[in-house]
């Protein structure tokens, strides 16, 4: 019998496979530094790993894949690196759109969009529109995303409903918070993977990952591939998920 998460809108693994895998893609800078290359080279090689993982996911039984692409804290990085990241984002959205549609992938972007240039916003909108009917892998990329900000925004929305008299504060529950999150239409992640050996979740899906299994891979993201993903899932499948029960 499959264990069920206590959070609303979630489900557990099926036949030992996670349905929803979330990944913190870490290690691009260290990969480049170890080779005497600029950080940009690490980000570009990391984009190749995105393709490898996206293509491997359906064969591993994954239906939902969420990737932490750019955090709300990443704006603190040097402007030159941010410019390179935005250029890479433009390139990815343009070059991968046809490939995503070909593989029946549905792409969506979560995170605040107010700091992106209009051309990036247009590319995101086009990618979401062109892949919106995809019934295969549901790919979510978190851009300018921070989980605390997401929760704050949800609280504000709930407060507006209370102020408008459409929501009784005494009845507010987890489902009310969940329906105001950017991930409202997604199941909660079954497993959260972080690459590069770091062991923290860095303000990523704090609400949604309450009962996710954590897997920390020593592999730097630019070297991460489908086999590494399979290895992480093999680790996950050794876990017994109790969701607070016995």
Residue 90, C-beta contacts closer than 8 angstroms, at least 6 positions apart? 119, 120, 123
Catalytic, 26? Answer yes
Identify the pLDDT of residue 242: 72
SS3 108: strand
Establish whether 161 is an annotated binding residue. no
Establish whether 202 is an annotated binding residue. yes
Q: Which of 15, 26, 153, 203 is catalytic?
A: 26
Q: Do 19 and 64 touch, CB atoms closer than 8 A?
A: yes
- The topology (CATH level 3) of 20-236 is Undecaprenyl pyrophosphate synthetase (3.40.1180)
Six-digit token string for 213 = 């299994």
Per the DSSP assignment, residues forming a β-bridge with 193 are 23, 215
Compute the average pLDDT of residues 58-64: 96
Residue 144, C-beta contacts closer than 8 angstroms, at least 6 positions apart? 70, 71, 72, 75, 111, 112, 113, 114, 115, 116
Task: Give the ranges where the chain is alpha helix by DSSP (H).
Answer: 28-34, 39-56, 79-102, 118-131, 147-163, 174-178, 226-236
Establish whether 11 is an annotated binding residue. no
Catalytic, 119? Answer no
Establish whether 72 is an annotated binding residue. yes
Establish whether 29 is an annotated binding residue. yes
Q: Which of 15, 74, 84, 99 is catalytic?
A: 74
Is this model's pTM higher than 0.85 or not? yes
What pLDDT digit, counting tens, does each position of 183-229 carry?
999 999 999 999 999 999 999 999 999 999 999 999 999 999 999 99
Identify the pLDDT of residue 116: 95
Angle at 83 between CA 77 and CA 84, to 5 degrees: 95
What pLDDT digit, counting tens, does each position of 136-163 carry?
999 999 999 999 999 999 999 999 999 9
Compute the average pLDDT of residues 169-179: 97
Q: 71 φ, ψ to 5°?
A: -90, 165
Domain ranges of the chain: 20-236
| Region for 123 from its dihedrals, namely left if φ exceeds 0, alpha if ψ lies in -120 to 50, beta otherwise | alpha
Six-digit token string for 164 = 């408008």
């Amino acid at each position: 019998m499959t264990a069920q998460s206590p959070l609303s809108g979630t489900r557990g693994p099926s036949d030992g496979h996670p349905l929803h895998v979330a990944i913190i893609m870490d290690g691009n800078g260290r990969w480049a530094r170890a080779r005497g290359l600029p950080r940009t080279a690490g980000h570009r090689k990391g984009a190749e790993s995105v393709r490898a993982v996206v293509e491997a996911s359906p064969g591993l039984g994954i239906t939902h894949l969420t990737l932490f692409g750019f955090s709300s804290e990443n704006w603190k990085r040097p402007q030159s690196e941010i410019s390179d990241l935005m250029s890479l984002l433009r390139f990815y959205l343009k070059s991968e759109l046809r490939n995503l549609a070909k593989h029946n992938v549905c792409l969506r972007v979560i995170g605040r969009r107010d700091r992106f240039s209009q051309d990036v916003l247009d590319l995101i909108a086009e990618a979401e529109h062109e892949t919106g009917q995809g019934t295969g892998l549901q790919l979510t990329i978190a851009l300018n995303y921070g989980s605390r900000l997401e929760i704050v925004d949800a609280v504000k929305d709930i407060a507006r409903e209370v102020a408008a008299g459409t929501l009784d504060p005494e009845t507010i529950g987890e489902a009310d918070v969940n329906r105001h999150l950017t991930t409202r239409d997604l199941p909660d992640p079954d497993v959260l993977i972080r690459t590069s050996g770091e062991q923290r979740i860095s303000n990523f899906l704090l609400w949604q990952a309450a009962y996710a299994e954590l897997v920390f891979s020593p592999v730097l993201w630019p070297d991460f591939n489908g086999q590494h993903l399979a290895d992480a899932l093999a680790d996950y499948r050794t876990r017994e998920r109790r969701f607070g029960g016995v």
